[in-house]
């Protein structure tokens, strides 16, 4: 008899996140996990560690994920959806390997994975798929990954609402700056395939959708959280340098929109709320920062929609794949040369 559950063939949902320390003694091991195999200057690690110690050694990301899971559970109950939810991090407890072991012990044989990153690049997509492969290879479980959601209507609706609220804080006609995580320029060029540059294209597409809905004729994109060697090219401008330029050009009000992030983790609460805000205050700029989706119930409903969409596709149906903007809905699976690993040839799921 066929499985008539709307989530079939999936037995569970796995929330896959970056992770973060929750107490001071976890900061250094966490940063060592994050930077293993990368050429990150020691002084940069020391600097980033101080960011965490300034918040009592705790990143907000794990608490946000706990809240998101509660929102998802409530959403599932609200529509009578019976799908257990698990959670695993790449760089901190609970680790992906622990989540996979728990799923297997509970009888899960196939799970769909929601990665808490909305865009395409090695660090924001393929590296998660590598780690998921490593955590599950040789084990009696199959893991699939949901498509990127940078241009899902709900994601754009939320950022439109959050941006409008931030604009209202500073008054009409501020400089609106969309902000995302900087990455090495070769990583951007490889995102989506050789020479594709999909990471930047996706951000421009998402920002343009939000700006169009708000009637903004002018906006800019800036970057935060650079961590590479100074001689290596990364995406620019840095948000602090960009604020200097805006002030020099006569700007008086600025709104930062963390369009590249799905939650208020350290790159937002330190790089923007502390560092960029201090730069703006020094320059005499009135400052506001738009919210992130975090555990918004509408964001949880979007995840549920993506789960049901992918489940239907796996059953051979033709579900509606909602998206806005110019790039269309991202494919469920990636080409073999999509967002290639610049340092090694690790196997990936999907």
Range(s) of the domain holding residue 171: 153-289
Q: What is the distance between the alpha carbons of residues 59 and 20, in angstroms, rounded to a whole number?
A: 5
**Which of 2, 82, 8, 11 has its CA nearest to residue 312?**
8
Contacts of residue 338, defined as CB under 8 A and 6 or more positions apart, other chains included, come to 120, 125, 126, 191, 192, 193
Residue 336 resides in a domain: no
Residue 146 resides in a domain: yes
Model pLDDT for residues 299-344, shown as the tens digit of each residue: 999 999 999 999 999 999 999 999 999 999 999 999 999 999 888 8
Looking at the fold, whether 146 and 157 belong to one and the same domain comes out as: no
Residue 178 resides in a domain: yes
Looking at the fold, whether 99 and 139 belong to one and the same domain comes out as: yes
Which pLDDT does position 35 carry in this prediction? 78
Residue 112 resides in a domain: yes
Give the chain's domain count: 2
Model pLDDT for residues 80-93, shown as the tens digit of each residue: 999 999 999 999 99
Quick one: tokens of 278? 């201090």
Percentage of the chain modeled with pLDDT above 90: 85
Which pLDDT does position 43 carry in this prediction? 72
Model pLDDT for residues 290-308, shown as the tens digit of each residue: 999 999 999 999 999 999 9
Give mean pLDDT, residues 56-73.
96
Looking at the fold, whether 127 and 18 belong to one and the same domain comes out as: yes
Looking at the fold, whether 158 and 143 belong to one and the same domain comes out as: no
Looking at the fold, whether 142 and 228 belong to one and the same domain comes out as: no
Contacts of residue 42, defined as CB under 8 A and 6 or more positions apart, other chains included, come to none
Residue 339 resides in a domain: no
Residue 104 pLDDT exceeds 70: yes
Which pLDDT does position 232 carry in this prediction? 87
Quick one: tokens of 251? 């700007």
The model's confidence at residue 245, banded by pLDDT at 50, 70 and 90, is very high
Looking at the fold, whether 105 and 130 belong to one and the same domain comes out as: yes
**Which of 84, 83, 87 has its CA nearest to residue 65?**
87
Which pLDDT does position 235 carry in this prediction? 97
The model's confidence at residue 37, banded by pLDDT at 50, 70 and 90, is low
SS3 (DSSP) at 146:
coil
Model pLDDT for residues 249-285, shown as the tens digit of each residue: 999 999 999 999 999 999 999 999 999 999 999 999 9
Percentage of the chain modeled with pLDDT above 70: 97
Decide which of 272, 289, 306 is a domain's last residue. Answer: 289
Q: What is the distance between the alpha carbons of residues 308 and 314, in angstroms, rounded to a whole number?
A: 10
Residue 333 resides in a domain: no
Looking at the fold, whether 266 and 141 belong to one and the same domain comes out as: no
Asked if 237 contacts 245 with a C-beta cutoff of 8 angstroms, the reply is yes
To the nearest 10°, the Cα dihedral for 315, 316, 319, 321? 100
Residue 64 resides in a domain: yes
Looking at the fold, whether 269 and 189 belong to one and the same domain comes out as: yes
Which pLDDT does position 169 carry in this prediction? 97
Looking at the fold, whether 60 and 142 belong to one and the same domain comes out as: yes
Q: Cβ–Cβ contacts within 10 Å for residue 138, how many?
A: 4
SS3 (DSSP) at 15:
strand
Asked if 288 contacts 82 with a C-beta cutoff of 8 angstroms, the reply is no
Looking at the fold, whether 19 and 107 belong to one and the same domain comes out as: yes
Q: What is the distance between the alpha carbons of residues 240 and 242, in angstroms, rounded to a whole number?
A: 5
Average pLDDT of the chain to the nearest whole number: 94
Which pLDDT does position 68 carry in this prediction? 98
Residue 38 pLDDT exceeds 90: no
Model pLDDT for residues 204-234, shown as the tens digit of each residue: 999 999 999 999 989 999 999 987 777 889 9
Looking at the fold, whether 203 and 218 belong to one and the same domain comes out as: yes
The model's confidence at residue 39, banded by pLDDT at 50, 70 and 90, is low
The model's confidence at residue 31, banded by pLDDT at 50, 70 and 90, is confident
Looking at the fold, whether 142 and 16 belong to one and the same domain comes out as: yes
Which pLDDT does position 34 carry in this prediction? 82
We report the CATH number of the domain holding residue 103 as 3.40.50.1400
Model pLDDT for residues 164-194, shown as the tens digit of each residue: 999 999 988 999 999 999 999 999 999 999 9
Residue 42 pLDDT exceeds 70: no
């Amino acid at each position: 008899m066929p499985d008539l559950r709307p989530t079939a063939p999936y037995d569970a949902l796995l929330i896959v996140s970056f992770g973060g320390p929750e107490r001071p003694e976890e900061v250094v091991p966490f940063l060592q996990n994050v930077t293993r195999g990368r050429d990150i200057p020691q002084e940069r690690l020391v600097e980033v560690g101080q960011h965490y110690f300034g918040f009592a050694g705790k990143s907000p990301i794990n608490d946000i994920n706990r809240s998101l899971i509660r929102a998802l559970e409530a959403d599932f109950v609200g529509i009578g959806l019976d799908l257990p939810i698990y959670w695993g991090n790449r760089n901190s407890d609970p680790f992906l390997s622990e989540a996979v072991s728990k799923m297997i012990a509970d009888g899960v044989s196939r799970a769909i994975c929601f990665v808490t990153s909305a865009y395409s690049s090695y660090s924001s997509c393929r590296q998660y798929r590598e780690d998921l492969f490593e955590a599950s290879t040789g084990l009696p479980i199959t893991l699939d990954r949901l498509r990127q959601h940078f241009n899902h209507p709900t994601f754009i609706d939320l950022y439109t609402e959050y941006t409008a609220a931030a604009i209202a804080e500073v008054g009409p006609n501020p400089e609106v700056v969309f902000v995302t995580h900087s990455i090495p320029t070769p990583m951007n060029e490889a995102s989506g395939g050789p020479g594709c540059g999909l990471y930047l294209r996706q951000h421009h597409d998402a920002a343009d959708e939000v700006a169009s809905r708000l009637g903004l004729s002018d906006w800019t994109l800036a970057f935060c959280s650079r961590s590479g060697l100074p001689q290596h090219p990364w995406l620019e401008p840095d948000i602090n340098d960009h604020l200097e330029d805006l002030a020099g050009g006569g700007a008086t009000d600025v709104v930062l929109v963390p369009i590249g992030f799905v939650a208020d983790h350290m790159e937002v609460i330190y790089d923007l709320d502390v560092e960029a805000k201090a730069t703006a205050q020094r320059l005499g700029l009135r400052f506001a920062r738009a919210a992130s989706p975090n555990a918004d119930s509408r964001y949880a409903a979007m995840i549920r929609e993506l789960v049901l969409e992918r489940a239907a596709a796996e059953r051979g149906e033709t579900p509606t794949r909602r998206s806005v903007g110019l790039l269309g809905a991202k494919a469920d699976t990636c080409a073999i040369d999509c967002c290639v690993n610049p340092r090694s040839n690790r196997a990936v799921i999907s």
